[in-house]
Amino acid sequence: QVQLVESGGGLVRPGGSLRLSCAASGTILNIDTMAWYRQVPGKQRVLVASITSGGSTQYADSVKDRVTISRDNAKNTTFLVMDNLKPEDTAVYYCYADRVVMALGGNRIITVVDRWGQGTQVTVSP
């Protein structure tokens, strides 16, 4: 139904920048919220930033001065730009989409909730 595919992760030195992308595929009419979470081994997955279809954003306190989330509603894509990266930003970053309205055959419409991407590794190291 809905697939989220992340890209843009990798190895970056402290102080560097990275841009993550996430594209949602499917016969999508609207996505209410798109977000980025991150997870390190042994810890819970935590919110980094979120953005609604109307453009309202929310950031974790730990990143709010260094991260910008945006989205292209026409392309069902969200982006996460991270600046001044620190070693503690090292994690697997997951794309998330909630309340994805999709068109099915025969004029049927469904709403899919809580969809996750497969994750992309970000490593910040000298």
Q: State the pLDDT confidence band at 124, using cuts at 50, 70 and 90.
A: very high
- Residues 56-101: tens digit of each pLDDT: 999 999 999 999 999 999 999 999 999 999 999 999 999 999 999 9
Q: State the pLDDT confidence band at 20, using cuts at 50, 70 and 90.
A: very high
CB 100 within 8 A of CB 115: yes
In this prediction, residue 1 carries a pLDDT of 81
Q: State the pLDDT confidence band at 33, using cuts at 50, 70 and 90.
A: very high
- The residue among 50, 28, 126, 63 whose CA lies nearest residue 94 is 50
Write the DSSP string, 16-82. --EEEEEEEESSEEEEEEEEEEEE-TTS--EEEEEEETT--EEE-TTTTTTEEEEEEGGGTEEEEEE
